């Protein structure tokens, strides 16, 4: 059985003047996933999400939502099953939280009871009669999430949803996002510039750098790249390489070091004995671990901010 | 219809009605003061002078009010960054339409109250006969039309510029232009001159007797064109504003 992709973009491109913010993006968000859309600030995350929601017009390429190509005519119909929170929450400061949700509930045509339910989920029940202008930033963010959840759509698009939240709020938001696919059958796209955040929430990940999707797969696959290696430094690397090749071990090079896959301690001991016997000086034997951060940085460029 | 109803819901506590009726209150207080203790010749031409005075009064005051109204309706969206959410639920065009219709209803209601009050005042003061229904109705329709054209211009600016100083300054500039126009001409093709062009009553001031004679205006072809221009402005501002709003990115 194949999983349907709720979002598919094909060659999606956005250009402002001579600047290409999003470049030939092929994004695929499987149904039931929490898709982490990761990238440094200014990488093109918000622009991509805005194009998916029809808030920005693609310069080139196409978008498919729920298996149907999006165009001007069917956009609103397709988005009826979508909730979104882009950049900062949208609200009417002179109205109460409940009144704000009433506006969106009417526009979405979902039951009034949804207002109570989403307010309960984001824990804003007690502040429902308070004007949103008097809410804290975190409360506004939670109201934004409540608004996105109204009608319990099939797809939720959240752009940096933890912005402005305190640590407890961030933890809560993460837990809530993780629970949405199992509890409500909602597929979530969540963008962030923080790897740790995506690592804790997502099961699929897309990494964008300077408008280009440089990685897209499951988070598990990304973790598998975070492999451990043994680094050796000797005075005769060529001899060591031929020795290792003879034993069928692949060798890589990094600066003065030879990199070999993580192997058993017994073989390392055997190798060391051999090097001493052949009068090869062994300066260093180190365990190297490529962390998720290293992978992220190598994909996005070290000059980019995290 | 749902979107339009929500427009009225959204302006709850924004005191939009209060702002509009505050302007009316000023006009009403002015009316009570200016029309008090009328002389006999004033009673004779009371209904005519009333229409004339209202046109002048509106020409001075209403352009500013239209910019305030448009700004009050639009800035709730700018302040809360709501377009990016609303436009995932409704097309930008229908959101624009709802705002425009909401403003038009407020304008129609505002002038209905204005006319109702001044007609009541006319009866109270004992103006001779009855108001000419045909002219009063036509005056009401033209007044609404000329101010809707201004409102739509201001709405387009207010919807497009997050900084409401831009439309407000444009509105004030336009009001000044309207005021200056009144000194030099009876009509204008400018949107701010609509109240002047649509005035159905004119007056002649006799310096020796110090008496004004009021009469129903006979429109020259240029003056008729100025009235037609009001409707052209309405179409142009609505269509133009909607197209620009629809094509911008949230």
The closest alpha carbon to A62, from A14, A12, A7, belongs to: A12
Verify whether the Cβ–Cβ distance B81 to A95 is below 8 Å: no
Evaluate whether A86 touches A53 at the Cβ level (below 8 Å). yes
Q: Where do the domains of chain A lie, and which CATH numbers do they carry?
A: 5-224 (3.40.50.300), 228-289 (3.30.70)
Question: What is the tens place of the pLDDT at every residue in B3-51?
Answer: 899 999 999 888 888 888 888 898 888 888 888 777 777 788 889 989 9
Question: What is the tens place of the pLDDT at every residue in A2-55?
Answer: 568 999 999 999 999 889 999 999 999 999 999 999 998 889 999 999 999 999
Q: What is the pTM of this model?
A: 0.83
Evaluate whether B75 touches B155 at the Cβ level (below 8 Å). no
Mean pLDDT confidence for B87-95: 94
Q: Please tell me the distance from the alpha carbon of residue A224 to that of residue A222, in angstroms, as a whole number.
A: 5
Q: Which residue in B9, B80, B250 is closest to A91 by CB distance? A: B80
Q: Give strand pairing partners of A208.
A: A213
Confirm or reject contact between B86 and chain A (CB < 8 A): yes
The closest alpha carbon to B70, from B147, B13, B144, B9, belongs to: B147
Give ipTM to 2 decimals.
0.84
Q: Give strand pairing partners of A204.
A: A35, A218
Confirm or reject contact between B10 and chain A (CB < 8 A): yes
Q: Please tell me the distance from the alpha carbon of residue B107 to that of residue B213, in angstroms, as a whole number.
A: 30
Total domain count for chain B? 1
The reported pLDDT for the residue numbered B102 is: 96
From chain A, the residues in CB contact with B250 under 8 A are 50, 55-56
Confirm or reject contact between B250 and chain A (CB < 8 A): yes
Position A95 pLDDT exceeds 90:
yes
Best of B3, B8, B76, B85 to disrupt the A interface (most A CBs within 10 Å) is: B85
Confirm or reject contact between A145 and chain B (CB < 8 A): no
Nearest CA in chain A to B14: A94
Mean pLDDT confidence for B199-219: 84
Cα B84 to the chain's mean position, in Å? 31
Mean pLDDT confidence for A173-193: 91
Neighbours of A229 (CB within 10 A): 18
Verify whether the Cβ–Cβ distance B14 to A50 is below 8 Å: no
Best of B12, B87, B89 to disrupt the A interface (most A CBs within 10 Å) is: B89
Verify whether the Cβ–Cβ distance B76 to A94 is below 8 Å: yes
Question: What is the tens place of the pLDDT at every residue in A192-242?
Answer: 988 888 988 999 999 998 899 998 999 888 887 777 789 999 999 999 999
Nearest CA in chain B to A107: B89
Question: What is the tens place of the pLDDT at every residue in B62-80?
Answer: 888 899 999 999 999 999 9
Q: Which residue in B82, B83, B88 is closest to A92 by CB distance? A: B82
The reported pLDDT for the residue numbered B21 is: 87
Confirm or reject contact between B3 and chain A (CB < 8 A): yes
Q: Which residue in A55, A82, A93 is closest to B84 by CB distance? A: A55
Verify whether the Cβ–Cβ distance A84 to B89 is below 8 Å: no
Evaluate whether A78 touches A65 at the Cβ level (below 8 Å). yes
Question: What is the tens place of the pLDDT at every residue in A69-83?
Answer: 999 889 999 999 999
From chain B, the residues in CB contact with A82 under 8 A are 88
Verify whether the Cβ–Cβ distance A55 to B86 is below 8 Å: no
3-state helix, strand, coil in chain A (%, to 5): 40, 30, 35
Confirm or reject contact between B209 and chain A (CB < 8 A): no
From chain B, the residues in CB contact with A53 under 8 A are 84, 88
CA distances (Å), origin A45, targets A35, A189, A191, A210, B31: 13, 11, 7, 10, 60
From chain B, the residues in CB contact with A86 under 8 A are 84-85
Position A291 pLDDT exceeds 80:
no
| Residue A108 Cα, gap to closest chain B Cα (Å) | 7
| Residue A44 Cα, gap to closest chain B Cα (Å) | 15
Q: Please tell me the distance from the alpha carbon of residue A72 to that of residue A54, in angstroms, as a whole number.
A: 8
From chain B, the residues in CB contact with A129 under 8 A are none
The reported pLDDT for the residue numbered A6 is: 94
Position A59 pLDDT exceeds 70:
yes
The reported pLDDT for the residue numbered A304 is: 45
For chain A, the average pLDDT equals 89
Residue numbers of the domain that contains B21: 2-247
The reported pLDDT for the residue numbered A2 is: 53
**Alpha carbons within 13 A on the beta-carbon side of B82:** 24
The reported pLDDT for the residue numbered A302 is: 55
Please give, one letter per residue, the 3-state secondary structure of B152-172: HHHHHHHHHCCCCHHHHHHHH
Neighbours of B4 (CB within 10 A): 16
| Residue B77 Cα, gap to closest chain A Cα (Å) | 7
Nearest CA in chain B to A88: B81
Task: Kindly give, in sequence order, each residue whose CB lies less than 8 Å from that of residue B226, ignoring residues fewer than 6 positions away.
Answer: B187, B188, B189, B193, B197
The reported pLDDT for the residue numbered A41 is: 87
Q: Give strand pairing partners of A232.
A: A258, A285
Nearest CA in chain B to A103: B6
Confirm or reject contact between B93 and chain A (CB < 8 A): no
Confirm or reject contact between B33 and chain A (CB < 8 A): no
Which regions of A141-281 does DSSP assign to beta strands (E)? 155-159, 187-192, 204-209, 212-218, 228-234, 252-254, 257-261
Confidence of residue B188 (pLDDT cuts 50, 70, 90): confident
Best of A71, A79, A94 to disrupt the B interface (most B CBs within 10 Å) is: A94
Verify whether the Cβ–Cβ distance A107 to B14 is below 8 Å: no
Of all residues in chain A, the percent with pLDDT exceeding 70 is 96
Position A301 pLDDT exceeds 70:
no
Verify whether the Cβ–Cβ distance A104 to B89 is below 8 Å: yes
Nearest CA in chain A to B74: A92
Position B87 pLDDT exceeds 80:
yes
Burial B184-208 (b: 16+ CB within 10 A, else e): eebbbebbbbbbbbbbbbbbeeeee
| Residue A65 Cα, gap to closest chain B Cα (Å) | 13
Verify whether the Cβ–Cβ distance A104 to B12 is below 8 Å: no
Our separate counts of H helices and E strands in chain B read 10, 2
Confidence of residue B100 (pLDDT cuts 50, 70, 90): very high
| Residue B168 Cα, gap to closest chain A Cα (Å) | 21
Neighbours of A111 (CB within 10 A): 12
Q: Tell me the pairing of strands A28-30 and A5-16.
A: antiparallel
């Amino acid at each position: 059985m194949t999983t349907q992709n709720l979002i598919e973009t094909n060659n999606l491109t956005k250009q402002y003047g001579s600047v290409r913010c999003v470049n030939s993006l092929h994004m695929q968000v499987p149904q039931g996933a929490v898709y982490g859309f990761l990238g440094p600030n200014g990488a093109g995350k918000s622009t991509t999400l805005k194009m998916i929601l029809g808030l920005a017009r693609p310069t080139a390429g196409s978008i498919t939502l729920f298996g149907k190509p999006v165009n001007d005519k069917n956009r609103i119909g397709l988005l009826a099953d979508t909730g979104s929170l882009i950049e900062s929450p949208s609200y009417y400061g002179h109205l109460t939280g409940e009144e704000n949700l009433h506006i969106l509930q009417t526009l979405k045509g979902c039951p009034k009871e949804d207002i109570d339910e989403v307010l309960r989920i984001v824990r804003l029940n007690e502040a429902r009669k308070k004007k949103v202008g008097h809410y804290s930033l975190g409360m506004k963010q939670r109201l934004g999430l409540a608004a996105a959840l109204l009608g319990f759509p099939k797809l939720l698009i959240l752009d940096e949803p933890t912005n402005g939240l305190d640590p407890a709020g961030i933890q809560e938001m993460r837990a809530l996002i993780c629970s949405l696919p199992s509890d409500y059958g909602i597929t979530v796209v969540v963008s962030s510039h923080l790897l740790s955040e995506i690592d804790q929430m997502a099961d699929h990940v897309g990494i964008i750098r300077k408008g280009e999707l440089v990685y897209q797969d499951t988070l598990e696959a990304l973790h598998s790249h975070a492999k451990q290696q043994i680094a050796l430094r000797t005075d005769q690397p060529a001899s060591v390489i031929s020795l290792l090749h003879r034993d069928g071990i692949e060798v890589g090079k990094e600066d003065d070091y030879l990199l070999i896959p993580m192997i058993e301690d017994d073989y390392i001991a055997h190798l060391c004995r051999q090097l001493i016997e052949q009068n090869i000086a062994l300066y260093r034997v180190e365990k190297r671990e490529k962390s998720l951060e290293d992978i992220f940085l190598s994909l996005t460029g070290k000059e980019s901010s995290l | 219809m749902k979107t339009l109803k929500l427009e009225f819901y959204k302006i709850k506590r924004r005191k939009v009605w209060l702002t509009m009726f505050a302007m009316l209150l000023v006009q009403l207080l002015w009316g009570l003061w200016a029309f008090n203790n009328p002389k006999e010749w004033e009673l004779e031409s009371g209904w005519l002078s009333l229409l004339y005075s209202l046109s002048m009064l509106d020409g001075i005051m209403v352009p500013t009010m239209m910019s305030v109204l448009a700004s009050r309706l639009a800035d709730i969206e700018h302040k809360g960054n709501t377009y990016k959410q609303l436009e995932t639920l409704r097309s930008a065009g229908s959101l624009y339409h709802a705002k425009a219709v909401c403003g038009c209803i407020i304008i129609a209601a505002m002038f209905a109250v204005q006319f109702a009050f001044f007609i009541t005042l006319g009866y109270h003061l004992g103006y001779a006969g009855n108001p000419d229904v045909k002219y009063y109705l036509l005056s009401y329709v033209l007044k609404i039309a000329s101010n809707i054209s201004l409102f739509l211009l201001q709405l387009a600016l207010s919807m497009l510029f997050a900084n409401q100083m831009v439309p407000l300054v444009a509105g004030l500039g336009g009001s000044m232009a309207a005021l200056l126009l009144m000194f030099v001409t009876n009509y204008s093709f400018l949107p701010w001159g609509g109240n002047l062009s649509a005035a159905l009553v004119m007056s002649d001031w006799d310096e020796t007797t110090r008496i004004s004679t009021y009469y129903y205006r006979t429109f020259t072809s240029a003056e008729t064109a100025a009235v037609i221009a009001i409707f052209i402005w309405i179409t142009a501002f609505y269509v133009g504003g909607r197209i620009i709003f629809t094509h911008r990115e949230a």
